[in-house]
Each structure stands twice: as C-alpha cells, then as structure tokens.
Structure 1
Amino acid sequence: MRLRDVQRLEFPPSADMHVHLRQDQVMELVVPQILKGGVDTVFVMPNLQPPITRIAQALEYQSRLRSIEPTVNYLMSLYLHPSITPEVIAEAAAAGITGVKMYPQGVTTNSESGVPADFLNAYSPVFAAMEHHDLVLNLHGEWPGPLPSHDISLEEAFLPELKKLHQKFPRLRCVLEHCSTAAALDAVRACGPSVAGTITAHHLYLTGDHSQTDPLAFCKPIPKKPSDRDALIKAVCSGDPKFFFGSDSAPHPLASKQSRQAVPAGVFTQPFATQLVILALEEAIERGVLGEDEVTQDRLEQFLSRSGRLFYKLPDLATEGPPKIVLERKGETIPPSIKSADGTVEIGLSKSTAPVFSLSWLT
C-alpha cells in the first residue's frame, strides 16, 4: 500500500486504551469527540479532582459518560492510592472495573495523590490481588524520586521497576503507558506476554524541541529525541502485538495552555486520534524512516484496534462485522480548537492546520 496515493481507507473502529475525559464542562465538550476520532472503545483515566479511588465513583463516572455518548464502550479504572486494598480489588473485579492506574507522585497532571518511589513493596498485596482477579495495572512510567543520573530521563529511570514488578508478578497484566523512548520499547519486549505498551499519536510526530517551544505540545512524558520518535514509529508498523494505541489525549482549557505561569501537561488529539496516527506515518515515509511497504492495512488495524482489544480480552471485531470507519482525502485540515456551544470552554488542538483524512462511520 502506497499510503501517499491512497484516497480511501476502511477500518474497524480504533480502540484508544488511554484517554482523559475530565469532568464537568470539559467532559461535556470532549466526550462527543471520541467518535469523531474513529474510536468506539476507550480506557478512561481516573485522575479527576478528587481522584477516583472508590468503585461507586468509577461506576457513577461511567454512567455520566454514557449519558453523553452511549455508543462508546468505556473501560473504567481506579486510581492507585492507600485506600485501594486487596478487598477493594476483589469488589472492583466483580463490579466490572477493568484496571487500576498507577501515577508516581507529583510527576504529571493530578498526580499529587500518586505513589512514592517504594510503591512495589507498599502495594505488593494489591498487585497480588490484581494478578489473582485479572485486573490490568496501567503504569505512568516515570520515576517519582531523584534521578540516578542526569543522562537518563524520568521514564528510563522507571524501567528497572517494570522489570522487578514483572518478575514478582509474572501473570499480572501491565501496560507501560505512552512509551516515549527506544529504551521503553526494549523494556516491554524483554518482558513476557503479560506486559504491553501503549503509544500515543503525538509521540509519533513530536520531539523534545516541540514540547519546549509550543505549549500545546507540552506533555508528560516529554517527547524525546528524533531517534526515539522514529523507534516508536517502527514499533507501530512492526506487527508486534505488545504495542497498541493509547492516545493519552489530555484536554486543558486553552487559556491555561497559553498562561505565562505553569503550563499544564497534556496534548489534545481526541477528535483526530486515528487520523493523526496515519498522518505521522505519512510524514515518517517522507523522511525516509519507513518504507512504503512497511505501512500495511493489516498492521494499521492491528495497532489501532486488534492488539489492544486482545490484551484487554475484548471481543474480536472481525467476527462482528460493521460498524467500520471510512477515511477519505477531502482536503480537511485540523482546526485550531474546539469550543462549547456557548463559547465558555475552548480547547486547543495539536497539529492545527495539518491536512488529514476526513472520517465517517459506515454502519
């Protein structure tokens, strides 16, 4: 498939295994964007204010999301916190909660209640219960303590903990979220089949230089070197089922992103989640990082849809038929932002003005 010459693509819906849908007015604006990005299944982050640490909170949040857009499948999670006990894990599994999200303390948006550096010892009983009840542990893999060396990133400093965690709980399904380095990819590959990694759209086209100069490109983990970006691109097209899509789409009001004070971490891509992955691959072909023959329909479907569903033990869409998403070249470009109907909430979009496929649903 010569991607640059393709005018029309037809895919099963994407499964986005890492989304931030926020709350209140931002939630009302963002949730309808899920379908616009070609996604029908999302794994929802629990770092609200206050964080979702109780089963009833998670189920209430799921109900609110369904009331806005009932056709999306919302996989819910709890925020790892001292109130999460083995007994809570058993109850969560019975209630249909999909996983638990681990945030290192203080490293990203709404992570103040996250775990300290000795999390593996502190939460071993919880991890054992999750392994027993087959809940997924989602890891924001950045080290919360002082770096052992100035030559490595926060994410790379966390990777030995992933190895220790997997050695201690080899059947615990773990996801190293938003991989941003070649070293992170290698760490996931070195573990058994119970460990996977998500890759965002924005880490496929951003580098650290972008994140330092464009507030809408500032996120955690920070994009790294061009060589890391290109390693992620290769992983997307490798056919390796250990890697699947998780956009980490993270909306913030545009005014806060344009603030002269502390800029919140997060890149918003939800309305063009699927299209931005394809655009990043097109740009990689232009740079010579990928050959035309490395981007195939099968591998795109695997990364965007099948591998994530398989890891999360969801039904195989291949046996279910429509709906499908259709992408066509119609000259569409990404707008600067989305706004609420009354104009009180505005969220800036990543990669505005870039040309993208137009997306529609075939049912």
Structure 2
Amino acid sequence: MELVVPQILNGGVDTVFVMPNLQPPITSIAKALDYQSCLRAIEPKVHYLMSLYLHPSITPEVIAEAAAAGIAGVKMYPQGVTTNSESGVPADFLKAYSPVFAAIEQHDIVLNLHGEWPGRPPSDDISLEEAFLPELKKLHEKFPRLRCVLEHCSTAAALDAVRACGPSVVGTITAHHLYLTGDDSQTDPLAFCKPIPKKPSDRDALIKAVCSGDPKFFFGSDSAPHPLASKTKIESGQAVPAGVFTQPFASQLVILALEEAIGRGVLEEDEVTQDRLEQFLSRSGRRFYKLPDPVTEGPPKIVLERKGETIPTSIKSADGTLEIGLSRSNAPVFSLSWLT
C-alpha cells in the first residue's frame, strides 16, 4: 500500500474505487473506514470510494449503515474465480442475497460485479465471463433500479450484455484488456489476470467501445499489484497470482492502446477525440457514481506530452525489499502532468 498509493496520481487518476478483496476481506464498515484513513494518510489528494466485500456478514441493516457512512458500493466475487475470492458468493447468490440486493437498490449505492462464473464443464466453448452473463440479466430483471457495474469487461459478449440492460447497468474497461490477448496472458506472468484477456476480436470490440461515446462504458483500471517475486519466481506447485499492475501509467496505457489500434486499422484517427477520452476516462464514471460533474465543477485536468518517456520495468520500495513489475515495460508512452 505504501509503495502503490503514491503512484495513483502518476497514472492520471484522482478518484479510485477501492476493492475490498484483501486478506482478510473488508466486510465491515469500520474496516472500510480504517482502510480509507490509511490511504488518505499516504496520499490525501486522491478521492477514495470505499466498498464492502459481499459476504454472509453483509445484511440489509449493514447496507443501511454503510450508505449513511458514505460507503460507495459492495463488491461481489463468485467463489474461487480470482485473487482472494475464497469467501465469495455461492452459485445461488441471487436467492441467497436477494434481501441485500434490495437494500443496495433502496439505499442507492453500487453493486460491483466480478463477472465470471466458476464450475462450467471443460467442454463448453465459452469463457467464465460469458457464463456469468445470464446471471447479470436475471439480477437486472429482478432489481431494475439497482446500479450495477460489470467490472473489467473482457469479451464482446459482455459489452452486448451491458448494452441490453437498462441505464442502471454499466461496464468498466481496463487499460490492459485493450492491448493484451489470451496468448499474452498465457506466456507472460505479468500479463496474467482475471478475467483472462480473450481473442483479438474481443480486444478490438473493447477498443471500439472506448471511443464510441456510449456512457455505459468507462475506465476502471483493475490495477492489481503483486510482489515481482510472486509473479516470476514461483516455487513448484504454486500458481501465479492473477493481476496486471498498470496504475503508474493507467491513462497513458489507454492512449497507447488506442494509438496501436489506429495503426492496425481498428480505429480511424478522428474517432479518438479529447471529448471521447474525457467521457471514457472521467465524465461517464463520475456521473454513474453521482460525483460532482467535472464539466461544471472544473477539477484538475491531465496534460499528455511526448517527451520520449518509456515505462520502467518495475517500481521498488526505498529499501529495495519490495518490487512490483509493471505491464508493458520499455514501451514508449506520453509523459503526464496535472494542470490545476
């Protein structure tokens, strides 16, 4: 935390939705607020939206208290699909947590979904994300006013599922899903994440959504730091932890992916406008979370300039005992500064 939090602003970000899948998970309001205090002490210029981990201890009464305390949302993880999801929800989550979902809808906070479904037969030629999409439809039909975020969409099917729902359902798109494919994730441990990147056609569908102007899709970095040793020096029998670390260059990596998409002919250059970038990186997400509108409130802006900067291999703690590998090291990127 002490190493990563100072990198948030470097990536052109001043507002973050803080995920609760720590060890142990954040399942109480007191833990969430303590965590927020720790984050603010490290970097007070960032706005931290806090969340609770959906768990049997989360009741409708807890939801009411969380809303009153300023907690922004509740994150749902199906059991066993990603890092620290062992305490996640079971297959019958819609029935088991219906009173909680009703309370989240009533108190108008956000339900954030890790949209993958475990346990499908190996012969099925669909991804874990696609297997989850019928559950999203059922959830939305039962709770049509419940604000839901399908986090880190990785397939064209997920985009279509979000579009098919009403305005209360949106999807986030990461930087890394705009340039990685499944082949990258299988060969590079620093590119391994959940959901696993998919086919080039899925990547290109995500890229088109970014520049579409559709407010249903906005940026969510899903930047997940892991010690470099755990990513690259795995002992026999140990699995590589899922997570791609992009935060120090989060916005810059989005721009790089769009430039590369223009080079491949996926986008025309005139489709990448400042207005569309501001909408994807800022306005749509802020409006969905009901934060002050950046157009009317006038927060700081980021300035991107070509200065020959490249992404370093890693970031390290001052004493060198902790090192975190960066995605796309050595790639040329825009330099970023804040205009206040």
TM-score above 0.5, yes or no: yes
Q: Is the Cα–Cα contact under 8 Å of residues 190 and 244 in structure 2 kept in the other structure?
A: yes
**Residues of 1 paired with 2:123 and 2:284: CA distance?**
35
**Residues of 2 paired with 1:322 and 1:223: CA distance?**
33
**Residues of 2 paired with 1:43 and 1:322: CA distance?**
18
Equivalenced residues, count = 336
How far has the Cα of 1:144 moved from its partner? 2.4
How far has the Cα of 1:321 moved from its partner? 2.6
How far has the Cα of 1:361 moved from its partner? 1.1
Which of 210, 222, 238 is 1:236 aligned to? 210
Please give the per-residue CA displacement for 1:284-340, whole angstroms capped at 9, x wherever unaligned: 000000011111110000000000000000001112234221110000000000000
Q: Which 5+ residue runs of structure 2 have no aligned equivalent? A: none
* Partner SS state of residue 82, structure 1: coil
Q: Is the Cα–Cα contact under 8 Å of residues 40 and 72 in structure 1 kept in the other structure?
A: yes
Please give the per-residue CA displacement for 1:8-60, whole angstroms capped at 9, x wherever unaligned: xxxxxxxxxxxxxxxxxxx0000000000010000000001100000000000
Matched, 1:246 2:214: no
**Residues of 1 paired with 2:123 and 2:95: CA distance?**
23
**Which range is displaced more, 147-156 or 260-269?**
147-156
* Partner SS state of residue 360, structure 1: strand
RCO comparison, higher one (Cα < 8 Å, 6+): 1
How far has the Cα of 1:149 moved from its partner? 5.3
Q: Is the Cα–Cα contact under 8 Å of residues 147 and 157 in structure 1 kept in the other structure?
A: no
How far has the Cα of 1:147 moved from its partner? 3.9
Q: Is the Cα–Cα contact under 8 Å of residues 139 and 176 in structure 1 kept in the other structure?
A: yes
**Which range is displaced more, 67-76 or 258-267?**
258-267
**Residues of 2 paired with 1:130 and 1:261: CA distance?**
37
Question: Structure 1 residues 88, 317: closer, same or farther in 2, change over 3 A?
Answer: same
* Partner SS state of residue 39, structure 1: coil
How far has the Cα of 1:224 moved from its partner? 0.2
Q: Is the Cα–Cα contact under 8 Å of residues 117 and 145 in structure 1 kept in the other structure?
A: no
**Residues of 2 paired with 1:299 and 1:198: CA distance?**
15
Identity %: 91
TM-score by length of 2: 0.97
Question: Structure 1 residues 322, 115: closer, same or farther in 2, change over 3 A?
Answer: closer
Q: Is the Cα–Cα contact under 8 Å of residues 20 and 75 in structure 2 kept in the other structure?
A: yes
Please give the per-residue CA displacement for 1:249-304, whole angstroms capped at 9, x wherever unaligned: 00000000x98831000000000000000000000000000011111110000000
Superposed structure 1 runs of 4+ greater than 2 Å apart? 144-149, 258-261
Matched, 1:303 2:280: yes
* Partner SS state of residue 8, structure 2: helix
**Residues of 2 paired with 1:242 and 1:148: CA distance?**
32
Q: Is the Cα–Cα contact under 8 Å of residues 241 and 303 in structure 1 kept in the other structure?
A: yes
* Partner SS state of residue 260, structure 1: coil
Q: Indicate the residue corresponding to 2:238 in structure 1.
A: 261
How far has the Cα of 1:148 moved from its partner? 8.3
TM-score by length of 1: 0.91
